[in-house]
Amino acid sequence: MLFETNRSYLASLPRFAQDPAQFQTLLTTHSFREKLLELIAGAQTRIYIAALYLQQDEAGAQILDALYAARARCPELDIRIFVDWHRAQRGLIGAGAQAGNAAWYQQERLKHDLNLPIYGVPAQTRELFGVLHLKGFVFDDTVVYSGASLNNVYLHVGERYRYDRYHVIKNPALADSMVNYLQTEFLNSSAVYRLDLDPIPGTKQISPDIRQFRQRLKSAHYATHHAQDEVSGLGITPVVGVGKRNPLNRLIIKLLGAAKHHVQICTPYFNLPRTVIKEINRLLQKGVKVDIIVGEKKANDFYIPESEPFKTIGALPYLYETHLRRFAKVHQLDIHRGQLNLMLWNDPGHSYHLKGIWVDDDYILLTGNNLNPRAFSLDLENALLIHDPKHELKDQLLQEKAEIAKNTTRIAYYRELETVLDYPPPVKKLLTRLSRFRADRLISRLL
C-alpha cells in the first residue's frame, strides 16, 4: 500500500518533457570544465550561475575571466552569479585570516570596468546554521547541473580533482523555471546584496532581512505552469527546499519508498538522516537491493594526511567512518547475502563529492543534497528528478554508473573498517572526548 502511494505521488508530479537527444551526461571533471567554458563563450541571451562558491584560484579565475570576456563581447548579455553570502566573505577553513572571495570580486570588477553582478545569498544569519547549497548553471536554454562548486579541485585545474556528477540538459522550459526562481526569490530580496560592489553591509546589519528571506524561501518553489502532469516519455521535475519537512526532503523519502527492485545511493559523507535510514531498513526488509557508494575517509574533502598538522575539521572523515561501521555491523547479514552493497570510492590523491539516487532505472535524482541532517534541515537545496519510463537514458546511465564504480571496493565485513582505536592520536583523543559528552551527535547534525 505504501509503495503504491509513493508511486502515485511521483506520478502526480508536474514534469517538463525532455528530448533524450538533448540530455548529455559528462563523465569527468575535465569535460565539465571544458563544457562550462564552451557554454560561457557561446551564450547569447543569459548566463545564470548558482553555486556555493566561486573561488579565487586558477580555475575560478578561468571562469570569471571567461564571464568578463562574454560581457565584453555581448554587453546586453544578462549575466548573474549567485554564491553563498558567508562563504564568500571568509577564507578557507584552517587557512588563517583571509579577505575572502568578495574582495577578489571587487578587484576584478575594477580591473575590467564592466558590470558583472555577483550576489551573496544568505540562507541563514550564520553559516553554521545554513548556506546557499542551490546548484545549477543556465546558459540561454541549456541547464548544466552538478553538485560541484567552482575552484581548482572541482574543475581539475592542477593535479587533484574532486569527483562529482555533471549533466547538460537543453530544455527552454526548465531553464526558464530555474532562472525565474533566482529572479523572483533572490533579486527581489532585501537580504541579497552584490559582493562585487563596495561597501558590503555587515551580516548583523541585515539580520532581520535575512530572517524574513529564509521564512519566505520555505514556501518558494520552481514555477511549473509550463510543465505537464503527464509526460509519456522522458520528463524532469525541479524541486527546491529549505528547513525541516521541506518538499525536497519529502521527495527523497517518497522516491526511496517507491523502489521495487533496486536503489543506488551516492553520498560523500556517510551521515544519513534518520528518515533515510528508516526507509533503507524498510527496503531491505522488502527484499529490495540497495547499493550505497560513499567516499572512503581519505577521499573525503576534509581529510588531512597524518604528515600534515592536525586541525579539528580533519576529524570529520573519521567520524563518518564510525557511522558507516556501525551501520554495516547492524546490516552484516544483508551485506553477506548481497542485498546490501556498501562501496567505498577512493582514487588516491583525489576526493569524492557525488550525490544522487537511482531507483529501478526509471527514476534518477540529480542533486547537490548530501543526504545528511544538515541538508535536510539547514541548507537551501535543490534537485532535478528525472523520470525515464522508456529507459531512453539507459546507455548514459550505464556509462555513468560504470565510471563511478571504477574506483570502488565493496565492504564484505564491517570489521574491514577501522575503529577509533586505530585512528591517529589527535583524532582518537578528539572523538573520544566528543563521544563522552555526546557532542558527536550535535556535530553530525551541523556538518
Segment 166-186, tens digit of pLDDT: 999 999 999 999 999 999 999
Prediction pTM value: 0.96
Has 34 been annotated as catalytic?
Answer: no
Closest CA to 47 of 73, 84, 19, 12: 73
- Taking CA 53 as the corner, what is the angle to CA 51 and CA 56, rounded to the nearest 5 degrees? 140
Per-residue pLDDT tens digits for 33-46: 999 999 999 999 99
Distances (CA, A) of 275 to 15, 168, 197: 26, 31, 43
- Catalytic annotation, pick one of 279, 353, 387, 400: 353
Q: Is a pLDDT exceeding 60 seen at residue 366?
A: yes
Q: Which helix (H) or strand (E) holds 169?
A: strand 166-170
Has 86 been annotated as catalytic?
Answer: no
Q: Is a pLDDT exceeding 60 seen at residue 98?
A: no
- Catalytic annotation, pick one of 86, 133, 167, 331: 133
Per-residue pLDDT tens digits for 244-284: 999 999 999 999 999 999 999 999 999 999 999 999 999 99
* Rg for the chain, CA atoms, rounded: 21
In this structure, the chain runs to a length of: 447
Per-residue pLDDT tens digits for 383-441: 999 999 999 999 999 999 999 999 999 999 999 999 999 999 999 999 988 877 666 66
Query: Which residues partner with 342 through β-bridges?
Result: 292
Domains of the chain by range and CATH? 18-217 (3.30.870.10), 235-446 (3.30.870.10)
Q: Which residue has the cell 550505497?
A: 292
- Catalytic annotation, pick one of 57, 108, 164, 362: 164
Has 440 been annotated as catalytic?
Answer: no
Closest CA to 380 of 193, 129, 113: 129
- Which triple of cell numbers denotes residue 337? 547475502
Phi-psi region of 140 (alpha: psi -120 to 50; beta: other; left: phi over 0): left
Residue 92's pLDDT band (cuts 50, 70, 90): low
Has 112 been annotated as catalytic?
Answer: no
